[in-house]
A and B are shown apart, each in its own frame.
Chain A
């Protein structure tokens, strides 16, 4: 670690993402003040339901996002400690463990504040300073988790931690396993059936929200919000496509910094402006020949959820080796990644389809298709798998994907262990030694005059 800090920083992150950081900070500030502003508050997990909540006039808190935020700011400790004291095992999904710890702290905070505490819902008064946040307690829960069974159970337990007093709505998502012969990415009988099923549940959710809020749902507001989100998503895809250039003008780490805006910020002009800014800065860099990594020598794919408390560190670490991490399942196959599916006049089906397209909701056949496709398109030399210790959903198919990439494209892969929101699982020496070994392997092949990128791979690996 110290070695990395002492070496020259060759990463060149986009400057525009700082503006995104401000948008996100403003969002959280608004959420923390939502109770005082007279808003009802919904806690939710899984797919991005925020356009529906926005149209319903609610304030929304995405559980994983809050856990990720705490981890990114290195403020996850008090919540995880509260969760551990409550009985949650350290091997449990650290998103859920952190968020459930927040629930425990919220309740402790409420009980400390006699009388009005329940309504102000301040996260553990005693821990407020460390958390640097004030998460308001929910009025109700909505679960929208595809792929990972733990996600659904997590909100079921949040409901219990809050004493089974708050309403909860669940959306069930069929796992896109692919039983039928015509099953494929965005195609086949199963895909259409699942899309219709989830769309129907979204209609039920909206009716349920009308009951919770006592107001008719604003369908025009939903269309408007989805219009902004669709435009932002299209700009995001444009920017991603521009990063196929050599050298790449921006990297996976820049796109990680853009996750929060696309995942839960309100659909509005500010969101569109932000992603226009991202696309424009990338384009300017392309025109000026400015790379995302100084002296790009290697192009890599990253598979795994982000290790949120290591974003800056990892971006510098890979850059110092001349490794540009360009693409990844968490970026390219998540977060409104198929904007053409969204019909802004009738947005529910496209929204349902995006919830189903959660990158943990596919069988390995589809993931194999997506991973190899992206490796080819970005002409990567190797894959780095973040073996995310407490996320079984993301790690499940990784070994199969590594085998397939080697056998089909001839590109190597390494695994390193870390976690989404628990820094204790990160193993620096393992990543360093394996990364160096893989890059040396790529160098050796180049010295032998072999092609190392995925783009030119025509068949099985050469032995």
Chain B
């Protein structure tokens, strides 16, 4: 019998299967492809659609090679490839809120080669200290709502939006609890399992996701005989940092833990970053969604935003202290410019704090796992040497 956790993993690994099943259960309703990382799924859910964060499906880039330059990041080239080879037929429309120039390039390809698929780009103000920023963001959230109403032909009511916010918050809280437990030392799920849980949350109806997750957690607790804490783990505790927009390869996460490290926290988009912030449930729901966008860059600063009073580097140091991580592994997707720009600031801060670190540059096609294993093992050795000698 398939467990709830296995069902979530299955969705993460086969979004198409879930979407096709959802369509059968919801005839006539739209499925929207949503590009990362800041589009508010709540609005699309309130419109009666299924918003699916388009995943890197990890297939080799073929047709897409003739649509975007090879020095675009793997995720955006994969998006172009998905569009060029018919895999975007999953979506009735595409919505985007972020103005990463590579993401825009990919969306432009989708728009050009799939003229029958609406591609709506609502640019959220990314300079977070602009005094006019909050009002602009509220206005853009309103434009998203209008576009959704145009797509569905139905109004998006305040009540529907409030309900969508509540159900998303519930799901986020459940997932976030898993990350908090892991950081506190009571992790029972592997990094791959956690990643699958987050990925499935990006794809599924949040109520369905929360239901399956509750079932999965109850099952896991029963399997442990009710014990809440994981057995002591003497491996080196590491924090995974970076990897915006798309998920790192599962085999890389497995190699990290097979090299003498245990992942205790992260700021990955397919990790804690995605569930970092709830939307306020009182007041005007549209304004609450706008504030959510502002607040999540405070809760976990993102290098794609510019905010002088929110520092990813100091946030990372605090996170490392909270979780007791002994080392940081930066997972940097090749050609990711925001991460490349910010990385020296992270490196400086960790170096000053004496925290061992390793940068791993990931690529869409072919990752040199054995080379990574050697480097991770070296990091683990270094972290072991810096451990305090027991008295």
Interface residues of A (CB under 8 A from B): 86-89, 91-93, 96, 143, 147-150, 152-157, 159-160, 164, 168, 170, 172, 174-175, 177, 179, 197, 200-201, 204, 360, 363-365, 387, 389-390, 392-393, 395-400
Contacts and interface: CB of A to CB of B under 8 A. Distances in A.
A170 B129 contact: yes
Contact of B337 (A93, A164, A360): A93
B169 interface: no
Nearest to A419: B71
Nearest to B337: A150
Interface size on B, as a range, is 35 or more
B127 interface: yes
Given A152-B127, A387-B69, A159 B109 contact: no
B130 interface: yes
B120 interface: yes
A360 B304 CA distance: 18
A307 to B, nearest CB: 15
B82 interface: no
A153 B306 contact: yes
A157 B341 contact: yes
Contacts of B304: 149, 153
Contacts of A89: 332, 340, 343, 361
B67 interface: yes
Interface in B57-75: 66-69, 71-72
Contacts of B356: none
A96 B340 CA distance: 11
Nearest to B140: A174
B132 A201 contact: yes
B121 A179 contact: yes
A170 B130 contact: yes
12 contacts: A86-B344, A87-B348, A88-B340, A88-B344, A89-B361, A92-B340, A150-B337, A204-B131, A390-B71, A396-B68, A396-B72, A397-B105
Contacts of A153: 303-304, 306, 337-338, 341-342
B116 to A, nearest CB: 15
A175 B66 CA distance: 24
A201 B132 CA distance: 9
A363 B108 contact: yes
B66 A399 contact: yes
A402 to B, nearest CB: 9
A86 B307 CA distance: 22
A393 B123 CA distance: 16
Q: From DSSP, what is the main secondary structure of chain B's interface residues? A: mixed
Contacts of A363: 104, 108, 111, 121
B102 interface: yes
Contacts of B341: 88, 92, 96, 150, 153-154, 156-157
Contact of B101 (A87, A143, A393): A393
Interface of B: 66-69, 71-72, 99-102, 104-105, 108-109, 111-112, 120-123, 125-127, 129-133, 136, 147, 303-304, 306-308, 311, 332, 334-335, 337-338, 340-345, 347-348, 361
Given A87-B347, A91-B71, A149 B99 contact: yes
A177 B120 CA distance: 9
Contacts of A395: 69, 71-72, 105
B123 A175 contact: yes
Nearest to B109: A400
B69 A157 contact: no
B71 A392 contact: yes
A158 to B, nearest CB: 10
A110 to B, nearest CB: 17
B308 A91 contact: no
Interface hub of B112, B335, B338 (most chain A Cβ within 10 A): B112
A179 B66 contact: no
Contact of B130 (A172, A179, A396): A172
Contacts of B109: 399-400
Contacts of B334: 91
Nearest to A179: B120
Given A172-B127, A200-B132, A364-B111, 14 more contacts: A86-B344, A87-B348, A88-B340, A147-B101, A153-B338, A153-B341, A157-B345, A172-B133, A177-B104, A179-B122, A197-B136, A364-B112, A395-B72, A396-B104
Contacts of A155: 306
B121 A177 contact: yes
Interface hub of B68, B104, B136 (most chain A Cβ within 10 A): B104
Contacts of B129: 170
Of all A-B residue pairs in the complex, the 3 with the closest CB atoms, nearest first, are: A396-B105, A87-B344, A156-B306
B101 A396 contact: yes
Contacts of B121: 175, 177, 179, 363
Given A149-B101, A153-B304, A392-B101, A397 B108 contact: yes
Contacts of A170: 127, 129-130, 306
B69 to A, nearest CB: 5
A365 B119 CA distance: 13
Contacts of B337: 92-93, 149-150, 153, 392
Contacts of A92: 337, 340-341
B308 to A, nearest CB: 6
Contacts of A390: 71
Contact of B71 (A150, A365, A389, A400): A389
B344 A175 contact: no
Nearest to A387: B69
Contacts of B340: 88-89, 91-92
A392 B100 CA distance: 10
A88 B125 CA distance: 26
Contacts of B102: 392, 396
A362 to B, nearest CB: 10
Contacts of B127: 143, 152, 170, 172
Contacts of B99: 149, 175
A155 B111 CA distance: 31
A399 B307 CA distance: 34
Given A91-B71, A170-B129, A400 B343 contact: no
A400 B101 contact: no
